[in-house]
Structures are given as C-alpha cells and as structure tokens.
A and B are shown apart, each in its own frame.
Chain A
Amino acid sequence: MQQQGVENRQGDGSQEPLDGERKEILSVKGLYKKYSRKADWAVTDVSFSCYEGEIVGLLGHNGAGKSTTLKCIEGMIPFEKGSIAIDGHDVQKEADKAKANMGFVTDNHATFIKMTGLQYISFMADVYGVSTEQRVSYLKELEEVFQLGKPIENLISSYSHGMRQKICMMGSLIHHPKLWILDEPMTGLDPRTMHAVATFMHSYVAEGNTILFSSHALNTVSKLCDRVVLIRKGKQVSELDVKRIYAETPDFDFEEYFLRNEEQEE
C-alpha cells in the first residue's frame, strides 16, 4: 500500500531532495557491506540523503543493519560497494575532511573511562581542533542541556550508563558538527534528559545542522524525525516523509504502518 509521503526504494538508489534549496549534508549511494567473504550481506544497496536542517531516522529491527550502515558512514568499518559523502567529502577518499564535519555517538557509549569527563571533552576538542575559548563556551551550552553536573570532573569509570551516554553526546558535539549521528540515542536516558535531548535536537537542526539517528523505538522516531528510512534485513525498504504524513494525516498510525509493511514484505 502506497501512502502519501511514502517513497518506495528506487532501483538506482537516487532520491529527489525534498527541498531543492537545501544543501545535501550526507549522501549514501548504493551501500553494500559484508563482514567476511563467506558471510551474507549485512547491508544491501542502501541509498539515502540527509539535508541541512532535518532529523532523519534509520528505523529497523535489531540486526536489521542500522548500526552497520552508521558505522560505514562514520568510517569505522570499510564497505564493499557504494559511496558515502559528508558535506561533499567522500568518507573513503577524504576521510579526515568528511569526519571533521561529523559528530557521532555509538550504541555502546564507548569512551576513555580512565579520563575524567572534562579530560574526555578536552581530548575530543583537540581532535576536532576547537579553540580554547570556543570549547569553554560550547561546553557551557552543552552542560545546560545534558545537566551532567559535578561528576564531569570525575573519572568516567565512575559514571552510570546514562551519564556515560551524556558525556559521549557532549564530546561528539564539542565542535558543533554539521552532521550529528547517533546510534540508539535514547536508550538508557532518564525521561527528563530524553526530553532535553529531544528539544536540543530540534534546536540543533533549526540552526541548519543535520541529525541522523538509528532506533527501533517507533515512538521516538515518529516524534523526532522529519524523515524515516526503513531498513529490514540489510535492505532499505522504504522512506517516509514523517512530517508531511502527520501534516496531511494527523491520525496516521506509524506503528500500524510499520507492522503492516513488515507483513507485506514477508
């Protein structure tokens, strides 16, 4: 069933920009990834774009290929076919330039736990070349959002799961990246911080930045995203303009659509 605002995957992987005037920040074209020669494809022919000022969600079940796609975008793992560009820079050919425009938070919230929160932020700021003055003012802004408080001065090894997630988010934002990528960002956060993060995400894209995040939580995705890319068994099955759908059909049941789509695929 074709709904308004829902685009089925094009064979060539190309997508028309939703707004021709907006700049393309992330371009993923025909992405293929497998973990070993004998293994099955983890990701097959995934193509989508993210434009400035929007929040895009990567939606799918556990093991659908969301994290693999994100890891390919972030340059953590190589991919077999396709191309990825961040702000016009190819992640393979101009890795450093592409990565300089991106901030990321992994699903396992990996950090250097033998550093204090402030040392970790300083490390990230140094890596992204943030000046001493800028890092101080950016950190002030981030502290207001994430409310980590005094523990930012302590070793990360003493942090709880949620606190680690917060410091990862703060570290990934210390250079004000054009593209902010998050893998399952809301997992482990308390409701208050979830709300603060959601509000921050909206204000961040309002400044012209872009957010791409993966999730299997339909509620989170439907509330946060402008667009959603559905991935199933490593394949991109459809793309939804969530904003447009809700504007045109306020009682659109995202969960029902997702489950029905899945049944049809099967």
Chain B
Amino acid sequence: MKNRKNNGPVGEAGESSVRRGREKINFRTVKALLRKEFEEKRSVFKTGQFDIVGFILRIVLIGAMIALFVVFFGRFTGVYMAVKTDGRTDIFSRATELLTIFYTAVIIGMVVSGVNSLGAELFNSDDMKIYSALPINEKTLFIAKLISIYKSQFAIALVTVFTVNITFAIKVPVTFAFWAFTLVICFLLPLMAIAIASALILPYQVIKRFLRERYILMFIVVTALLGVAFWLYSMILGGVKQMMLGDAIRYFFNEKVMTTIGNVCAWLYPARWYANIMTGSDPIFSWFWLLGVAAVCILFSLLIIKSILRRALQARNEGVSSSILRSTRLTRKCGKFATLLRKEFLLIFRTPSYMFSYLSVALIMPLMVYSCMELGASIVQNLVGLNIYLEIALFLTILFGALTNIFCATNISRDGIMFYSVKALPINYKDIFFSKIVLCLIVNVLSQTVSAIILGVTGYIGAWDAIFVFVVGMLFSFVNIAVATRYDFNHVKFSTEEDGEIKESSNTVSAIIVMGIVLSFAVGGLVFVLKVLSQLRGFAYGPLTYVLAGGFAVIAAALSAFYLLFRLDRKYYEFSGGEL
C-alpha cells in the first residue's frame, strides 16, 4: 500500500520493484512496455501487411551472405593457418590473430548498429512522446529501452559470432569449452558494443543535427561514405578473387606483414581478450580483464544512456525545430510539368533516406559497375579462358540499374496524403505520373552515361558497344521505373508518418526487387551463357547478343509502357485507396 501511494496507476509498485533513490524501477511496467513492442511487431502478421516476399528475400540474402562468408572465410582460414613465420607454421598465434581481427570487425559492426538502434529508440521513436506524458518514470523507461536494444544486439552477436566460430571450427579442431565460451561471448559482446555506441550517440546526433537541412553537404558526405564503403568492399572482393584464383595470397603474408599483423592484434582490445579465451591463450588474465571491462561498460552505458534519456524525451516533445534553410523569393512562372518535376526532386533530395537510396546509389552505380566488371571479367577469364566483356557489361548494367530503381516502387506511396491534394489540383494525371518517371529517367541517364563511358574508356568495350550498353540499360531502366510506378499505384499504401516518409519495406518493393533481379539474370545471364557456350563449343554466334538483348529491351519497354498506361486515367480518377 505504501508503494501504491507513491506511484500512479501504471507506476504501481509490485513485489519486483527495486528502490533507487526517489524513483523505482517498475518491472511490471518494463514487462508491459516490452510486451507492447512485441505486439507491435506481431501485428504486422495479423493485419495481413506482412511482406512475405521481402521476408523470404531477406532470409535468402542473409543465407547467401553467410554461405559466401563460410566458403571464403573457411578457405582463407586454411590459407592463413598455413602461413609460415621463421620457417614454421604457428597455428596457435595465427588462430588468435584471425579471431582477434574478426571479433574486432564484429564489434565495429555492432557499434555502428548500436548507434543506429540507440538513435532510433531514444531520439526518433514516436512512442517517446507518449511515454513522457504517461506516469512511467525515467528509470523504468530506460530499462525497457536498454533491454530492447540489448535484444537486437544479442541477435546480431549470435549470428555473426557463431558464423565466424563455426567456420573457424571447420578448419581448426576445437574443444567443448570453445562452444561454451562462444555463447558467453555472445552475451558479453553487446554490452561493450552498447557502451561504445552510447559514448558515440551524442556526437552522432550533433553531426546529424548539423547536416539537417544542409542537403548539399549531406549529399556529398553520404555519397562519399557510400563510395568509400563500396571501394573498400571491392578491394576485399579483389583480395578474395586473388585468393580464389591463385597462390598470390601466400606471398602476401611475408615475414614483415606477419610481424605487423601480430603487433596490431596484440593491441586490438577487447577483441584480443575474446580471441585469447577462445584459443586458450592466457585465459584467466583475459577473463579477468574481460569481465572487469564488461562491468565498467555496463556502468558506463547506464550512466550515459540515462543522462541522454531526459534530453531525448525533451527533444521528442519539443517536436519541430527552427529551420535554417531559406528561400527568399517566389520563383518565376513555369509550366505544370516543370514545377511537378522540381517538386519531385526537392522531396527526394530533402529526405535523407530517399537521397541516399536513390541519388547517392545512382551516383555510385558507375563505380559498382566498373568494380564488378573488373572482377567478373578476370574471374571469367581465369575460369574459362575467355574475354566476354560486352555480355558481362550488359548483365551488370541491367542488374545495377534494376537495383538503383527499386526506389521507384515508392513513387506513388511516398506522396502520402498529398496524393489526394495533388489530385484536387488542375493537373492532368499524365503530368503527375510522367513527372515522376522523367525524373527517374534523368537520374538513370546520368549514372548510365557515366557507366558506359567508364566501360568504354577503360577498354572493356568499344565506343559502339558502350552506346549499345547505354541504350539497352536505359530501356531496362524504363521497364523498371514504369512497372514499379504502376505496380505501386495499384497496391499503394501511404505512409502514416507525419512527413509521409516510407521507412519500412513493403510487398511492392520486394516484388520490384525480384522482378529486377529476374530480368537482369534472364537477359544479361542468357546472353552471357550463350556467348560462353558458343566460344566453348565453337558454334557461330554472330550478332546474337545485340539481337537478343536489344530485342528483349525493346519488347520489355513496349510491354511496360502498355502496363503503365493501361486504364491509368480511369484508375486515377476513381482512386480512393491508400489505407490512410
């Protein structure tokens, strides 16, 4: 009864309450908050909005990535274990170094994801607005949020650490303790990752706040980061290719390189302690340090997150903040189509997630095509001894074009409630749809032109072939854009976010991803396989690539134009859906 007196209805203290100063953590409320979160996630299945295609795609993609990792990491482990220093192999040291490096990578990945989770849970979560008005004390809310973040981090740790350790165990014999410690590590790793992430979250928020509304700067930063990430990725792929195709990797790990790796790994804490425990090197010392650091991490993150929770609550309640972006005069009169085009560009450019997923990706696309061209061409050359550049260029251009244009699957949905307002304006339906399609085509023209030029200049294909690749790429881009736009209109689901931003994947997006991949494999893959077969079997191939790819592209473009326009006017004027 005494407890009840101090708290409101939700804050009623049960037996599980723990006294902490004036406020108490109410574990019953913590449980209720976690249950609410679980029910929210489960509701997707109940309401029939579950993106089954997307879910399968994600599972397939994660499965493929894990499989790829297991194959390459397994092979790399074998190669690395055989590296000799001072004329002899040292499995013990190599294993410690290898695990240290991979655990470091896992921790870095988890810190990045931790910063993201903390930002999403504390600063961007809409429920914070509601909670701050409810009789839920900060400590209770804090524990609920922390458990929620820890859960997702633990899931990531389970998948990554077990993948690394299973692959490692295939190549190196391990004991039962190895598996027991793997599980313990999965519990401990998130604590450290969250602690580091909580130290980074405020600087991250400051940078984010600084970039807010500085759209051009944000575009440059985001695109540069994406470019660097892809460049690193292509470097790793290049290394993997070298490893797969020859013995060059063995020569890379000479005495000097191995000494450097050893010195760096000796200081890569806390990953080094984990690796020591797994390999049984100085385990007591490592356990001591690891548990000590884990305890400090827990205290550190508790202090940091608790101190920013109040700020986060205030930030959510304050809602709108002052705008720094200014336009000081009305624009000169221009046509409806041009103004719609400008509106569409502004909405994409000024929504960071849209800017990243379309404009930045489109800008980086030439780099992706070139890197994969370099990789693919040399792999094919090594495997079958053939130079099949045009077909690979076609395949990659269609594939990356399709992946870039996935964004178009939200062409209508992202208008949100404004779709109806625009419908009430004196604008022809064709202008509305074509302005969206033309903007996407302009973006594609820019990225595909650069791609074709790079492929031509680097000598993979000639000038005429580069033009052919550009034309076919653009025709398939049109197919993707037109089908995605109409498919989205037929299955439109407007966002309920205040700014209309679409943050979740949908069946439409997943369907367009599948279509893009199938199309690129069907056409690019077909001409590639035919070319390889013709070369290997020695039958006359002639201009079959031009006929098949060109023919398919023209037919697909015509069909997609028909699909886009079929009863579009009727559907538009009769439209009253969107599940708003």
Contact = CB atoms under 8 A, between A and B. Distances in A.
Interface of A: 35, 71, 74-78, 92, 95-97, 99-100, 104, 106, 108, 110-116, 118-119, 121-132, 135-136, 139, 151, 153-155, 157-160
B328 A153 contact: yes
A157 to B, nearest CB: 6
Contacts of B332: 132
The 5 closest A-B pairs by CB, nearest first: A154-B323, A158-B323, A126-B339, A99-B426, A114-B350
A158 B320 contact: yes
A131 B500 CA distance: 31
Given A126-B335, A126-B339, A114 B347 contact: yes
Contacts of A158: 320-323
B424 A130 contact: no
B347 A118 contact: no
B180 to A, nearest CB: 52
15 contacts: A77-B575, A78-B574, A96-B427, A99-B426, A104-B424, A106-B420, A110-B420, A110-B421, A113-B499, A115-B346, A126-B335, A126-B338, A132-B333, A135-B333, A157-B499
B320 A157 contact: yes
B317 interface: no
Interface in B309-361: 320-336, 338-339, 342-343, 346-347, 350-351
B325 A130 contact: no
Contact of A112 (B213, B320, B327, B347): B347
B interface SS class: loop
Nearest to B416: A110
B420 to A, nearest CB: 4
Contacts of B426: 95-97, 99-100, 127-128
Contact of B327 (A104, A118, A125): A118
Interface in B375-421: 416-418, 420-421
Interface residues of B, number: 44
B343 A118 contact: no
Contacts of A132: 330, 332-333
Contact of A153 (B213, B326, B336, B576): B326
Contact of A35 (B420, B498, B576): B576
A96 B422 CA distance: 12
Interface centre among A74, A75, A122, A129 (most CB of B within 10 A): A122
Residue of B420, B421, B574 with most chain A CB atoms under a 10 A cut-off: B421
Given A75-B423, A95-B426, A114-B350, A136 B576 contact: no
B425 interface: yes
B412 to A, nearest CB: 15
A154 B325 contact: yes
A127 B425 contact: yes
Nearest to A100: B426
Nearest to B425: A127
B333 A77 contact: no
B329 to A, nearest CB: 7
Nearest to B499: A113
B330 A118 contact: yes
Given A78-B574, A126-B333, A127-B339, A111 B418 contact: yes
A135 B576 CA distance: 32
A119 B346 contact: yes
Contacts of A119: 327, 331, 346
A218 B343 CA distance: 38
Contacts of B330: 118, 121-122, 125, 132, 135-136, 139
Given A76-B423, A78-B573, A157-B499, A108 B331 contact: no
Interface string B427-450: 110000000000000000000000
Nearest to B348: A114
B326 A116 contact: yes
A115 B424 contact: no
A99 B81 CA distance: 75
Nearest to B326: A153
A108 B580 CA distance: 12
A106 B425 CA distance: 12
B425 A114 contact: no
Nearest to B415: A112
Nearest to B573: A78
A133 B144 CA distance: 58
A71 B420 contact: yes
A116 B339 CA distance: 14
Contacts of B416: 110
Given A110-B417, A113-B499, 14 more contacts: A76-B576, A77-B575, A77-B576, A108-B417, A113-B500, A114-B351, A116-B327, A121-B330, A125-B330, A126-B331, A127-B339, A128-B425, A132-B332, A157-B320
